[in-house]
Structure 1
Amino acid sequence: MGGPGAVTGGADAAGYAHLMDPTRTWYNNRRLITLHAWLVLFLITSSTNGFDGSLLNSFQSLDNWENYFNTPTGSRLGLLNAIQNIGSLAAYPFAPYLSDGIGRRPTVWIGATIMLVAVVLQSAAQNWGMFIGARFLIGFGLTFAANAAPLLVTELSYPTYRAPLTALYNSLWYSGNIVATWSTFGTKFMNNTFSWRIPSMLQGLPAVFQFCLVWLAPESPRWLVSKGKETQALKTLAYYHADGDEQDPLVQFEFQEIKAAIELDRTIAANIGWKSLIATKGNRKRMLLIVAIAFFSQWSGNGLVSYYLTKILISIGITSSTIQLLIGGILAIWNLCWAVYASFLIDRVGRRTLFLTSTALMLLFFSAQTICTARYQIAGGNDAAHAVIAFIFLFYASYDLAFTPLIVAYTVEILPYNIRAKGFNIFNFTISVALIFNQYVNPVALKNIAWKYYVVYCCWLAFEFVFLYFMVIETKHLSLEETAALFDGEDATANLSNAVQDIRHDEKFVDEKASDAFAPENGLKA
């Protein structure tokens, strides 16, 4: 059977909630403020991804860029968008081994270094081949950083803030989107190639910060324990979670739980290698959910607007590049606001409720967008065109309720430590495959069948709702071991509890307050 591990990244950890100092909050504790500053350094990895996802959409509104690269269309435009994800695919076989082998921090640094080289090449591109090669390299480097960064966020966070911070990771995709869109809007009025070279340079800013600062940040306590560096792991937990007090009950609970989960994983042969992802019923269910959510996040109609907003707007008669960029910039701010808002709802409203609400509303608004687009292309009329824009905004507000904040947060919280890097790599790989398909197919389909292509997504959204209704498991307000038990069963919970008790006994862990936390009524069933 697959060991449950310490599933991080989501629950309120009810089993040890009473051990947390209620006066220790992120805004009045110096150590927590410092910790969150380091977490921001890793969160901005998603900004790089968002920047890249929006950059080419904005470039398509720039005459200088269009003329420089001979107005790419159809499959040529599809390749331009897809090549970044092809680069990501090339790095996926290596990313989890670096994250688990040399550590989360070094992996982020390697990714940032590769991206910096790629951004220099892209900004200085003299021809189509150089631009394409640079975008491949951006995807290659981004994979390393994007595999390790969210793991660091979820494995370092103070328990109270773990779920919303992990949800913020993907929500900050839109911060990069905003910078890309508005910087391009600002440089649009330049009559030379710097109109697109300057936005290209700005893409490297997050990588610059990570390249310079990542070695000063803390490493994941879970990775440290897995490598036998338990003293360093305990010091890291104590420094940031308890003002340096290694005997703090919360720190001791977290430390003992991490040790127990990793030790339990080591004793189970099925947890070794890629086979572990499908070796047990619990892990197979995890992977089915993760792959499905990854596909849904890209195949819900959002890919049309994310990468081909310019083409969509042209199809409803909006041909002014200034108006196109303005709509894109406002949409980016709108998305960021909704995604950040939803990030702080996941522990109050719940994952299942957000997923189902999001999918139902997306189906409603995308269907309305389809009808209005068809009406415009058949009969014309400004009213229909304006309605399409309104429904695009409503569709994205619905998408941002779940598929921006939850897809990363839910994935990492249901994965036990022993398969977290590999499982998250599968998640990212699936997204890249879905994106490559979309980026090749969407421009061709839009050109050939126009609004009729939207009907495909309407049907797919209906399927998504049915799948999520029957498959998504609620993890709100569950402790880490209880989350694992939802997938691995009660035997897994008992095994973890026994491992914790054995470690406590061997190390004579007798702190009375911390000992209470392991009582059955507090979430661990012996």
Structure 2
Amino acid sequence: MSAKIETIFSGPALRVNEALDHLPKIYNVYFIASISTIAGMMFGFDISSMSAFIGTDSYLNYFHSPSSTIQGFITSSMALGSFFGSIFSTFVSEPFGRRLSLLTCSFFWIVGAAIQSSSQNRAQLIIGRIISGVGIGFGSSVAPIYGSELAPRKIRGLIGGFFQFAVTLGILIMYFISYGLGKINGVASFRIAWALQIVPGLCLFLGCFIIPESPRWLAKQGKWEQAEFIVSKIQAHGNREDPEVLIEISEIKDQLLIEEAAKNVGYATLFRKKYIMRTFTAVFAQIWQQLTGMNVMMYYIVYIFQMAGKSGNANLVASSIQYVLNVVCTIPGLFVLDKIGRRPLLIGSALMMAAWQFGLAGILATYAVPWTDSPSDSVTIKIPKTHIPASNGAIACSYLFVCAYAFTWGVGIWVYCSEIWGDNRISQRGNAVSTAANWIMNFAIAMYTPSGFKNIDWRTYIIYGVFCVAMATHVFFGFPETRGKRLEEIGQMWDEKVPAWRSASWQPTVPLVSDAELARKLSVEHNEEKMFEEDSNTDDERR
């Protein structure tokens, strides 16, 4: 079905991309990544713009103090839209290219933000958030792929982590904007904040006109000259004879041959005996990322600090510190994954997150008292002002949890899920399935958490702490190490059923050709092709 769609729209797709190429292009890979990952920044904007206002009087009065169930659905409706957006993104990304998908992302985001900012009731707010979510679904599915297809191999992990960094940066920027606008008395506070979400949408829309198309997508359309030009501009300042350029073009050719062979590979293939453990691992990697409880700390940070006894400006300032820590701790995560490895970081941080969740639950269980006149239906307990050290301890546990998450599970899972398949024939469909699992869990957790706070208060953190212990156990026994391994080596590991705890020291039975040897071979072949073309041209002239 997908192949038929691509064939039908091949001509229109190329015309659309030609229309996007009228303006000069910027080929700096960091600039390109900063534009494409605005899609991640939008997700961060959404988190902050909701979490900053759900505890304010203007929001509660205008939307008639939503119950815990209704507030859960308002918050989670964005993730619901993202689930569907991520599924449908392939029907735009494959036939029409990555840039048009990013333009689609910006379109839905802008429309959704406009609807939210003009909301007259809960239903309109929910509809606006669902539409914005569709845009985020497109962006979260396409932006990481686009970055990996353009980035030089040596920094592909770094560029891949830009998406998560953009999410954390968006959370921080929008939170401070919302903090300032929160000083406005009345509905203008949240209306202006939600309207300002249009700005990153416009930046992404305009940015798509000055960044190049994915060379892999162009090669798939038969535009090899243009694909080679873009690769050479990004990786070697236009030098098409550079070894890295030759290797990259060779890999693109190999990739297209694999995709040609994979046309009959469907989603059912993921669940065959050969691939089912890879599918299980990738899907659970995304599920566990959500079950850490991080989105509880992000979406409902105001509720958490209300339980800790903070209110008004004190609550907002304490929340902003958490968002700053989230950004700061994400930065080393972009580098440390390739230094230490995936498994040690994921296991160690999961156990640390469990400790801070249990610590937060213990403090609230010991010092919190019932809060009968709480302004929120979801917050039923708080630590009284007579126990300030306990309040500070609860906030410290929240801060330490975010630090443990940000540089490991936050950045690492997106990188890990792109590496784990070991077979390009199934990676695209596999990533779609695992990303969909992430969004549906995001929806479930955002939906459940307010009711959880209302009904079992501090015990909610016990549940997430247990999940963190479970995920550490699963990583130890079921997540093989992928650091420093090529795609073919990862595939060999799965085929040989190497135990996960031995995967870091495992070596392939059939050594692969080194990059230097491959570059020399490709350079010779490229020169031979050029000599053949020159001889052919000379013969033509003689005739």
- Given the two structures, how large is their TM-score scaled by the length of structure 2? 0.81
Give 1:495-506 correspondences, 5 Å limit.
Answer: none
Give 1:388-407 correspondences, 5 Å limit.
Answer: 388-407=394-413
Structure 2 CA distance, aligned partners of 1:51 and 1:362? 25
Relative to structure 1, the CA distance from residue 488 to residue 230 in structure 2 (aligned partners, 3 Å threshold; closer, same or farther) is farther
1:267-293 superposed Cα distances (whole Å, 9 cap, x missing partner) = 3565x3323333462x32332122111
Relative to structure 1, the CA distance from residue 67 to residue 257 in structure 2 (aligned partners, 3 Å threshold; closer, same or farther) is same
Match for residue 308 of structure 2 among 305, 313, 316? 316
Identity %: 25
Give 1:46-445 correspondences, 5 Å limit.
Answer: 46-268=40-262, 272-279=265-272, 281=274, 283-318=275-310, 320-377=311-368, 381-415=387-421, 416-445=423-452
1:421 to partner: Cα distance: 3.7
Query: Which amino acid in 2 is paired with 1:397?
Result: C
Match of 1:9 in 2: none
1:213 to partner: Cα distance: 2.0
Residues 265, 418 of structure 1: 8 Å contact kept: yes
Residues 262, 418 of structure 1: 8 Å contact kept: no
Residues 48, 204 of structure 1: 8 Å contact kept: no
Relative to structure 1, the CA distance from residue 470 to residue 164 in structure 2 (aligned partners, 3 Å threshold; closer, same or farther) is same
Query: Which amino acid in 1 is paired with 2:270?
Result: L
1:418 to partner: Cα distance: 4.0
- Structure of higher CA gyration radius: 2
1:232-276 superposed Cα distances (whole Å, 9 cap, x missing partner) = 221111111111122221111111122113203423565x33233
Greater shift after overlay, 145-154 or 477-486?
A: 477-486
Match of 2:525 in 1: 509
SS in 2 for 1:52: helix
1:132-155 superposed Cα distances (whole Å, 9 cap, x missing partner) = 111110011211122111101111
Relative to structure 1, the CA distance from residue 238 to residue 286 in structure 2 (aligned partners, 3 Å threshold; closer, same or farther) is same
Ranges in structure 2 where 5+ consecutive residues have no aligned partner: 1-24, 370-382, 498-507, 529-543
Query: Which amino acid in 2 is paired with 1:308?
Result: Y
SS in 2 for 1:403: helix
1:505 to partner: Cα distance: 9.7
Query: Which amino acid in 1 is paired with 2:73?
Result: L
Residues 484, 493 of structure 1: 8 Å contact kept: no
1:447 to partner: Cα distance: 0.8
Residues 153, 165 of structure 1: 8 Å contact kept: yes
**Where in structure 1 do 4 or more consecutive aligned residues deviate above 6 Å?**
492-497, 504-508
Query: Which amino acid in 2 is paired with 1:340?
Result: I
Greater shift after overlay, 409-418 or 350-359?
A: 409-418
Relative to structure 1, the CA distance from residue 506 to residue 455 in structure 2 (aligned partners, 3 Å threshold; closer, same or farther) is closer
Residues 96, 422 of structure 1: 8 Å contact kept: no
Ranges in structure 1 where 5+ consecutive residues have no aligned partner: 1-30, 513-526
1:417 to partner: Cα distance: 4.2
Relative to structure 1, the CA distance from residue 507 to residue 347 in structure 2 (aligned partners, 3 Å threshold; closer, same or farther) is closer
1:89-130 superposed Cα distances (whole Å, 9 cap, x missing partner) = 333331123222221111111111111111111112222222
Relative to structure 1, the CA distance from residue 394 to residue 506 in structure 2 (aligned partners, 3 Å threshold; closer, same or farther) is closer
Relative to structure 1, the CA distance from residue 273 to residue 450 in structure 2 (aligned partners, 3 Å threshold; closer, same or farther) is same
Structure 2 CA distance, aligned partners of 1:458 and 1:142? 29
Relative to structure 1, the CA distance from residue 284 to residue 204 in structure 2 (aligned partners, 3 Å threshold; closer, same or farther) is farther
1:489 to partner: Cα distance: 5.9
User: How many pairs were matched up?
Assistant: 475
- Given the two structures, how large is their TM-score scaled by the length of structure 1? 0.84
Relative to structure 1, the CA distance from residue 223 to residue 286 in structure 2 (aligned partners, 3 Å threshold; closer, same or farther) is farther
Structure 2 CA distance, aligned partners of 1:103 and 1:372? 51
Q: Which has the higher contact order (CA 8 A, sep 6+)?
A: 1
Match of 1:11 in 2: none
Greater shift after overlay, 420-429 or 399-408?
A: 420-429
